[in-house]
Structures are given as C-alpha cells and as structure tokens.
Structure 1
Amino acid sequence: MPLADGSTSPKISVVVPVYKVQGYLRACLDSILSQSFEDFEVVAIDDHSPDSCGRILDEYAALDARVVPVHLAENQGIGKARDAGALKARGEYILFLDSDDTLADGALQAIADRLAATDNPDILLLNHVRTYWNNRVQASAAGELLAAAGEDVFTALERPEYLGMFAVVWNRAYRREFYVDDHHFTFTDGIYEDALMVYKTMLTAQRIAATDHVCVEYRQRRQGNSMRTPGRKHFGIFEQYQRLFAFLDERPHLEPVRALLFERAVSHYLFTLAREDRIVPKDRAEFFKLAAADYKRFKPRGLVLPEGTQGTRFQLLERGSYTAYSAVMAASNTRREVIKRATKVKTKLGKTAYNRLYQLHLRRPVDENLAVYAAYWNRGVACNPGAVYEKAKELAPNVHGVWVVKRDAVDTVPAGVDYVVANSPRYWEVMARAKYLVNNVNFPNDIVKRPEQVFLQTHHGTPLKQMGIDQQKYPAAAKNMSFAKMLERADKWDLSLTSNQHSTEIWERVYPCAFEAVEFGYPRNDVYFRATSEDVTRIRRELGIEDGKTAILYCPTVRDYQKGYVPRIDLERFCRELGPDHVVLVRTHYFYGADPRLAALQERGLIKDVSRYPVVEDLCLAADALITDYSSIMFDYACLDRPIVSYADDWEVYRKARGVYFDILSGQPGETPGATATTEDELISVFRSGAWNSAEAAELRAAFRERFVQFDDGNAAERVVRRLFLGQDRGPTVLPLDERTPAPAPGVVAKARIPQQPTAERGLIGA
C-alpha cells in the first residue's frame, strides 16, 4: 500500500513493547527476523528500560532496516508503549508481540495466507502454545475452536464463543485502519488492560476470522512476570471490567453477550483471588468484597450459573461472605493435595533433621560482619571470590571473611586466612550466621538461605558453551542433572556478577530467578590491569621460563562427552615443530587428575605441566600467547590484549554434544578472538607462518575485546566490595577500553630490559 511519502507499507507491523527483558529480547527479535514471510517491519518500543534493551534494539536496527526502534523518555507501561508502537506502525496489520515471547516458525506466512483467504478482516484470531523453562510445550485450549472457523468471517455477536478465547492482544492481528484510523483504540493504564482491549475490539469489529496455525510461543517465565508479582496493583482489575460494562451500557445492541462477559469477568476475579502470587492474604478479604460489589452491580437478568465448583464460587461471591467463601475453599482441598503437602513437609524435615546443630544456629541472629567465601566446589581460595576477599580486607576490614574448603584442600589455604572444613561443626555455624555469602558456584542444596543473608554469585567465566536450562537440549551436558534443583539453588542468589553484556543476557535467561545483575567486571581479572613488568618477570622466573623464549599457554577445556583427559595435540611433535625458542605451558581442566603422559613429557623437558599451578592468572601474565578451544579463559586472557589461537579439532562434535552460543571459528568480528585451526597441521602452520600474531589476528582480537572485555578495567573488586559490604551504589566508573593499560607482554618487558646501546652519533656527542 503506497504511503504519503511515496514508500510502500509492509503487510504486517509487529509491535514489540520492551521493558527489562534483556535476557529474552534477542530470541524474540530473531524469531521475527527469521520468518520466511518478509513483508513486515518490527516496531520495537523501548519503554525506558533500565537494562540494555535499548542498546540491543539499536544494534538490531543497525543490521536490519526492518527494525524500527522507538525510545521513550520515561517509563509509561506496556499499554502506552503499545499505543506508541501502533501509531508508529505503517503496516496494513498490527501484531502485538510481548518481548519475552517468540513467533513460531511460519507464523507470518500463515497470517498473511489467512488474511488473503478471508479478504482482510478487521481482526484475525491466532493460535498459540505455552512454553516452559523445562522445554514443556502446552497447546492452547482454543485450538479446536480456531480450526472450526475455517475461512469463515463473522462478528462477535454471530459467534460469541470466540469471546471466550484467552483475552490477550497478542493472539490476534488487527487491521491498522480499523484499529488506529477508524476507532482510535488506546490502552488504559494499569494491568489487566488486555482484557478490556480484547473485548472492545472484538465487539466493534465487523469482520473477524481465525487461523489454527500456532503463531505465538507464549513463554511462561518462572520468575520475573509482572502478573505473578503480588501487590495492590492487581486491584486494578476492577476498574478495567467496570470500563467494559460502561462500554456495554452505551451499546444496547450488545445485550445478547452481556451474560457471557459477566461470567468472564467474575471468573477472572475468582482466578485472581485464588492466586497467592497476585493477592496477598491480608488483602484477600478486601478483594473479595470489591468483587462481590461488582457481582451485584453488573449481574445480568436471567444469569445461568456455571456448573460444578465454579457455580458454587459464583454463589458464594453473590452472598458476599468472605468467611463462608474461605471455609468452603479450605474444605474443597482434595485429599491428594493434602497428602502432597504433608509429604513435602516430611521431606523437608528429613533433610534438616540430620544436623540439629545447624538448626540451632539458624535461630541465632545473623552476624552483620561475617562473610563466607567458597570457590570451585570448595577447592580453595581462588577466582572472583578470592579477589573480592582481598579487596574486602582493605576496604571493609570490619567484615571477617571465612573460607569453606574441602578437607583435602586445607594445605592450599594461604597463611593467615580463616577457613572451615565443609560439614564440620563450625561450618554449620558460619553458614547459618554469615550476613554475606560469596561463591563462584552454588552452595549445597541443604544450605538454607535466610532472608537477612545476601548471596553474591560471582560465576567463574563468560559463557561460550550453553549453560543453565539451555543444557536440557544436550544429553552430554544434562546427564544426571536435576534442573529443578539447579534452579532452586539459583533462587538463593541476590546478586549475579557479570563482566560483559553477553553474560548478563545469558545468565538472566538460563537462570530464570529473581537475582539482580551487577555489571561490575570480574575481580579476578583486575590483576591483568594492575600487574607490572616486574610481576611478569618474576612469574616467568618462578615458572622457569628462560629469557627470550616465547611462552605459549595451552588450556583445553573439559569434554562432557568423554571420560578423563584425552590429549588433542601431539605435544611432542608440536614442540619439535615450534623449535627451542618456544616453551609450551599445559594446563588441563581442574576436573581431571594428574596425567602421567604430561608428567613424562615434562621430565623430558618438552613441556611444562602447570595443571596444578594454583594461580591461573599468573600463567596468563607469563604467557606470550594462549591456545584454547572452548574454555572461558579466552575471555579473561583477552584483557591482556595478547594473541589468542582457537584450536577446535572437534568443533562439530562439541557443538552438537554441548551446545554453544556463537561460532568461534566463524572469522566474524566479535566471535573469533584471533587465528584459528581445526587440525594439528593447521595449528603448527599458524605459529610457523606468524598468523598467530598477525595484523588480521589483532583486528579480530580488538573486536573480541570490545564485546567481551566490557567491564573489566582493574577496578571490579572495588566496585563489588563497595556495593556488597559498604552499601554504596557507585564505585569507580568503568574506564573506556582505550584508556585501560593491560600488564606489559613478556616481549615488551624483555625489550625494556635490554640496555640501550650508544649510536655512532651519540658516541661523537659524548666525545
């Protein structure tokens, strides 16, 4: 359709209101942009989202002209954001899509086909499915009803059964001229605005059609859904339905559907009242009273009550006695529900009764100046928790830190560090009483997270491989894992630390819990910006790296589809091909034990096995280059701005068995950190040809650093300590990437140590 400016309007405008969904937004946009039907635009309304949603929209708009971002100056709510999108839309049809939902494959084509077959109705009703975090998919209740419509076109008065569909605006497409130009529909303030809009548009439309093609995948968020957050805002439901009945009063010809809409309204009231995640106990009597008042006010003549239990609820509401309603509802609990609750209580008691000492400590007050630290399943003082611990001693000396360690890791604890052995008597005391809990993994299931406690989850890497609930699709990763238990552990997090926006988005989506993301950088990486040339020299000497040699750190990650350490490089050949000017430091994953093959190669002087070296950051500082496959060490090493070589000989197998978020072999800026190799011959060639340290590799590394070295600047630990222990919202501002100075590379240090020789010119002057 030609527009006033001479351009042609798209068939469909997908209007996406966006607010605090950075973990889901990319999936939403990708589901639209990957549709086979291409005659559409995406009008995405950034409702002044406080996270990175606006930046993500701009990123997509820069890559695809069909994405039209609109940034609101202040938060206005989903209804007003949709209004702004509808006014901006140029398409013949408007499809509202929530930004945490996705379009199913072929959705837009199915919509376009049915619009053509029904001669462009005012409203096209769509089918949907509900999707859950555990990959369960539930069909909608309207599937058969939608299929029965075929290619019929009708009004709501002619087919009132379609008013019984799930009352949301995203399961229907609106003809823009009908919606915007003819009737100027706008959303009202508050929640439950969908129901009012759905009924008003359905009762106004002269031509309605339907398709049973599944078009929308309605995500059932485990947490974070505003409708599942209890509070007084749910009382707004009364005003919305009062507006609906006022709409009906002004249109006597709609009297035939008044009883149906009354039943829908009352059922919605009762549903909302019964939900503990909407109406809190202290507000239920008041909510019931207001619902009863609306019942009496709007009850139509000749109302036929629903059958069964629902009809009983209607009668109780009409009586207006909340006491009677509560008694009947309590008595209606089935025996199965009672048994289920009893079993749950019994199980919980069984889990906690094993240690009465722990129960006693849980009754004691929380110690406001006690922090518990742990890392890598109690392997010792390390990683982000270790860096936070050191900075806390400096900035928050009043907070006493205690480390949890395994019994066989006690010897690794540095002198002067207070620690407890896991499951010892004092362990239960500090876990029960510490105000602060800091870990880079999870504490065990049997640890109770008290409301007064604050749990900082620091994580221990940037995700390349699929994590959290995403692992469900990959049997090698999901083996013997209870994802429900995993999420129960993640429910205990209060703060989730990230070092880049990529991590923030992934953690939010794959751990659908109620934590707050803190984009402060990884404290363990501070050393890469604070270490000096003297530190680099000292570490290399401690490792026995001779002056002038190029040190290559080789860090392969664990394979979920294999047992034990399996060498992926013939290290003897690799060292021989590189020659005596190189030294290879080999560090296997901490899941593996000592490997006799590496020990033998070290005895022969071919490699240095640094698998048990306690501080991986020292190894990175000592290395001139890194070789890795899928290990998150690449993201940390990128802080140093030194060459990274990706050696992925089993890429296809790993990708299918473990799953990845992007292709490190693609050669695309922001995905590939440098030179790549998929065979041993290619790896050798990368070093012998100089490709590992080429200008092309440096360009890739620069783009990789821009994406992933986002918040690491040497001040991450201070930001964390000030927020966690001192309650300060602001720490040091993150430095721009071009203003950060990483520790000098070994080659630079070596050149700086060479005494400057006098030139002939200097010699003459000296004479």
Structure 2
Amino acid sequence: MPETTPAITFAAGNAKKLLALPGYALGAVASLLVPRRRDLWVFGSGPGIGEGALALYRVAERERPGRRLLWLARDESDLATAARLSIPAVLKSSRQGLWATLRARVIVVTHGFGDANRYGITGGFVVQLWHGIPLKRINLDSAETLRTRLLPDSALLRRMLRLMYRRAARSIDILPAASEVSARRLRTAFDLPNDRVVVTGDPRDDVLLRGEDAERSAAARALVFERLGIAPSDSRILLYAPTWRDGEADPGIPTDDEWRRIAALLDASDSILLVRPHPHGVGDYAAGPAFSDRVLLFDSRLCTDVTPALPAVDMLITDYSSIAYDFALTGRPIVFLAPDVDAYTASRGLYVAYPTFSGGSETASWSEALDLIERADTAPATRKRLAEHSESLATAHHAYRDGLNTDRVYREITTRLKEHE
C-alpha cells in the first residue's frame, strides 16, 4: 500500500463510532418498529466476499434452498463478485442494505457490525465469525483498541468506548471458536458468557481440511496463478504475510540489499515469493518486483480471501498474524519474522509470549529469516523442527480437522434459533 494512503487506525475508527452514536440510536428505534423475517439471513465480511461468511452462506444455501440469503456488499466490486458467484447482493450502505439488515433474522459478520449495515443490527440474531485465532490482544483485552482522535487523553472517553464495546458485544448471539484456547481469548475480548462462544472449529478453515492434500494443493496453485495472471509453474511458493500495525509503517519491508539477497535465494531454489501486505498496512513493496520477477505482489485486490490459497504455499513467513494458526493445518514450515517484537508486545499486547508462538525460532531481520530458510533447505533437522512446530500449533489451536466446522456452526445457529422462537 502506498505510504500516501491515509492510515486506518483504532483512533480514527473509534472517533467515527462516537460520532455515529445518534445513528445507532435511530437504528435501535427502527429495529423495534420493523418486524424481522424468519427466513431472511444476511451476510457480510470486512475484506469482501469470502472468509467464514461465504462458507456459512454455502452451507445455509445447501441446507435450506428456499431460505432467502443476501450478501451485504462493500462496493461495486463486491457486487460484481457476487453476481459472478450467483449470490444475491445489495450495497450495505444503501437503503436496501439498511432495510435488509433491519428485516433479517440472522446477521452474519466476520470483523465487526460494519460488515452489515451497523444501524440495523439491534434485535437480529448476530453470528460473529471472528477472522482467525487471536494472538495479539483484541477489543477489551487491549488498551490500544480504546484510543480515539477525539480528546485522546480523556479518561472519560476511554471509559465511554469501553462501555460501547461491551454493550455492542451483548448483541452477539454466537461466536464460534476454533478451540477452547481461542474461545477463552474471545470470551474476555468481547466480555461474553461461556455459552455464547462455542467451540465448533473455524468455518474458514474447512477449505484447508477437505479432500486429499494433493488435490487441495493443486486447486490452490491453480487459484494463485490465475489470480496473478501468469502461466502455472512448478516453482516452490513462499508467502510473506505481515500483520497490521495500527497505522504504523511495516518494519519488515526489505532494504535494497535484502531484496537482492531474496532474489538470489529465489533463483537458487527455483522459488517465487508472494508478498501479501495487510489490507490496512502501511508501506511500499514495489521495489521487490523491480529486483526480481520471482517477487510477486499478492494483495487483497488480487485475492480477497487468502485462506483457499494457503495449500499452494510451501513455506509461510509472518510476524503476529493469525494466518500462522490457519497455515499450521498444512503442517508446513513457518518462519517468524518480527523486527519489532518488543515494541509491538508492549503496545498491543499478546495472549502468549512470542517465543511460545514462534517455537523459539523467531528472526529479527530478513537476513536472519533468509539464513533460516537456507538452513531449512539444506538441513533436514531444521526443516523437521519448523514443521513440527506447525503441527504443535495446529494441535493446540484447532479442536477439529474434519472439514465440518461450518456444518457445526450452522447446526448451532439453527438449534439456538429454535430455542429463541
């Protein structure tokens, strides 16, 4: 993402929430007056059409063909994608989007209430399919999430924001979790009772678990090369996917010397490097493709949901992103590159010590990361150690590996709807 793009931060987002309070109040009143349709479910996802919301849409479609399902699109691009996938959709910010949210019995989101029309949430059955297993502290568990541009030093506003987060979370009827480890973090982050955070497995991970490994890898490689618009090859695929740093520039952007060494490693090992900055990240990776045609940008504009592409990846390079927990299901090596681990831990906070997450093999620079990759390529013991840590992450953080996570979520929803009715 170019550095001239306005940074998205917690402070800016919280300021918007405070300014939108009158709209929330009006929406709550409208929700009391507008009856909800028992057969209408609406779906939304912050990055676009994908994530667990799309997986749940397909299961709901399969289980009840007559049910009315509607996607709440961010923009015209989402509308075009929905049309291509034969998914009925309206713009979430339009009058139709507000009306659909007000009328829906079930509202499915993956990031926040803004995935739908936030002013029509009250009174709906809200399914929050949180986007991954949290390593970094989120919501009420992190002071960083309560900062605001409006009177940033005001303790009163911070208390108001904390209250807003708590009250908003009460609207969540079910929050599926990948494991009890994840569930404990989500319960404190959203201040939810135990029965609302249920261990079903994460719907977005089903694509990593269904079928045979070779079939998944072949389909994912076809997807990657199709999105890149280049001819398929047998080259090894490395993926670099750093996390968001609340508006700060990504410290993991390689220097020119590091790009040269990356290019040399890619040539020597017949590999390509996919660079996937966070959709809200700050920093410019354009120098990479200039140094080597083996460095390819694979951002969210090319591939909204990266999870279906993960079986194509032979090695992941990341920092604090929950993508590590998803990728661990492949059993393949992960290289942890965290140049700012002390500062990030101090500001955002982590649920576990970073060496526990990384298996003690974290690197602090691209030079160290490349050294580790080269050792993994030449020393079977190193590669085995990295793969074993992936397996340990998967074992500890995923309760199910049967590819039926979405089905379990669907059954939880329908069972609870019957209880409500």
Show the counterpart of 2:174: 495
User: 1:536·1:621 contact (CA, 8 Å) conserved in 2?
Assistant: yes
Counterpart pick for 2:135 among 440, 464, 467:
464
Matches within 5 A, 1:667-682: 671-672=357-358, 675-682=361-368
Show the counterpart of 1:651: 341
User: 2:251·2:340 contact (CA, 8 Å) conserved in 1?
Assistant: no
- TM normalised by structure 2 equals 0.78
Q: Shift of residue 576 of structure 1? A: 1.5
User: 1:523·1:717 contact (CA, 8 Å) conserved in 2?
Assistant: yes
User: 1:602·1:609 contact (CA, 8 Å) conserved in 2?
Assistant: no
Q: Give distance in 1, aligned partners of 2:21 and 2:363.
A: 52
> Secondary structure, in 3 states, of the residue corresponding to 2:61?
helix
Q: Give distance in 2, aligned partners of 1:679 and 1:384.
A: 33
Q: Give distance in 1, aligned partners of 2:102 and 2:74.
A: 18
Q: What residue identity is the alignment partner of 1:449?
A: T
Q: Shift of residue 373 of structure 1? A: 0.7
Q: Shift of residue 418 of structure 1? A: 1.1
User: 2:74·2:93 contact (CA, 8 Å) conserved in 1?
Assistant: no
Show the counterpart of 2:95: 425
Q: Shift of residue 521 of structure 1? A: 0.5
Deviations, residues 379-419 of structure 1 (Å, cap 9, x unaligned): 42111111111111112223221111222443333421111
Identify unmatched segments of 5+ residues in structure 2.
Answer: 1-19, 150-157
Counterpart pick for 1:524 among 204, 215, 220:
204
Q: Give distance in 2, aligned partners of 1:536 and 1:610.
A: 17
Counterpart pick for 1:630 among 299, 320, 327:
320
Counterpart pick for 1:617 among 301, 307, 315:
307
**What RMSD, in angstroms, separates the aligned Cα atoms of the two structures?**
3.0
> Secondary structure, in 3 states, of the residue corresponding to 2:42?
strand
Q: Give distance in 1, aligned partners of 2:24 and 2:344.
A: 38
User: 2:179·2:201 contact (CA, 8 Å) conserved in 1?
Assistant: yes
Deviations, residues 708-735 of structure 1 (Å, cap 9, x unaligned): 1223431001111122136599xxxxxx
Q: Shift of residue 362 of structure 1? A: 4.8
- TM normalised by structure 1 equals 0.45
Q: Is structure 2 residue 258 aligned with structure 1 residue 575?
A: no
Q: Give distance in 1, aligned partners of 2:23 and 2:233.
A: 61
Identity between Structure 1 and Structure 2 (%): 23
User: 1:572·1:606 contact (CA, 8 Å) conserved in 2?
Assistant: no
User: 1:499·1:710 contact (CA, 8 Å) conserved in 2?
Assistant: yes
Matches within 5 A, 1:533-612: 533-542=214-223, 543=225, 544=230, 547-560=233-246, 562-563=248-249, 567-568=253-254, 570-580=258-268, 581-592=270-281, 597-598=285-286, 601=289, 604-611=292-299, 612=301
> Secondary structure, in 3 states, of the residue corresponding to 1:413?
helix
User: 1:442·1:490 contact (CA, 8 Å) conserved in 2?
Assistant: no
Show the counterpart of 1:686: 372
Q: What residue identity is the alignment partner of 1:601?
A: P
> Secondary structure, in 3 states, of the residue corresponding to 1:681?
helix
Show the counterpart of 2:6: none
User: 1:497·1:517 contact (CA, 8 Å) conserved in 2?
Assistant: yes
Q: Give distance in 1, aligned partners of 2:287 and 2:59.
A: 36
User: 2:40·2:103 contact (CA, 8 Å) conserved in 1?
Assistant: yes
User: 1:519·1:711 contact (CA, 8 Å) conserved in 2?
Assistant: no
User: 1:627·1:644 contact (CA, 8 Å) conserved in 2?
Assistant: yes
Q: Give distance in 2, aligned partners of 1:352 and 1:603.
A: 53
User: 1:552·1:627 contact (CA, 8 Å) conserved in 2?
Assistant: yes
Show the counterpart of 1:388: 56
Q: Is structure 2 residue 164 aligned with structure 1 residue 485?
A: yes
> Secondary structure, in 3 states, of the residue corresponding to 2:101?
helix
User: 2:329·2:391 contact (CA, 8 Å) conserved in 1?
Assistant: no
Deviations, residues 507-553 of structure 1 (Å, cap 9, x unaligned): 11222234611110111100111144344224324514754422111
1:672–1:564: structure 2 CA closer, same or farther, 3 Å change rule?
A: closer
Show the counterpart of 2:412: 723
Q: Is structure 2 residue 119 aligned with structure 1 residue 446?
A: yes
1:418–1:704: structure 2 CA closer, same or farther, 3 Å change rule?
A: same
Q: What residue identity is the alignment partner of 1:384?
A: G
Show the counterpart of 1:407: 75
1:394–1:484: structure 2 CA closer, same or farther, 3 Å change rule?
A: same
Q: Give distance in 2, aligned partners of 1:617 and 1:658.
A: 25
Q: Shift of residue 361 of structure 1? A: 7.0
Q: Shift of residue 423 of structure 1? A: 2.6
Q: Give distance in 1, aligned partners of 2:206 and 2:95.
A: 35
> Secondary structure, in 3 states, of the residue corresponding to 2:296?
strand
User: 2:335·2:373 contact (CA, 8 Å) conserved in 1?
Assistant: no
Identify unmatched segments of 5+ residues in structure 1.
Answer: 1-346, 730-767
1:564–1:404: structure 2 CA closer, same or farther, 3 Å change rule?
A: farther
1:618–1:446: structure 2 CA closer, same or farther, 3 Å change rule?
A: closer
Deviations, residues 737-767 of structure 1 (Å, cap 9, x unaligned): xxxxxxxxxxxxxxxxxxxxxxxxxxxxxxx
Q: How many residues are aligned here?
A: 369
Show the counterpart of 2:4: none
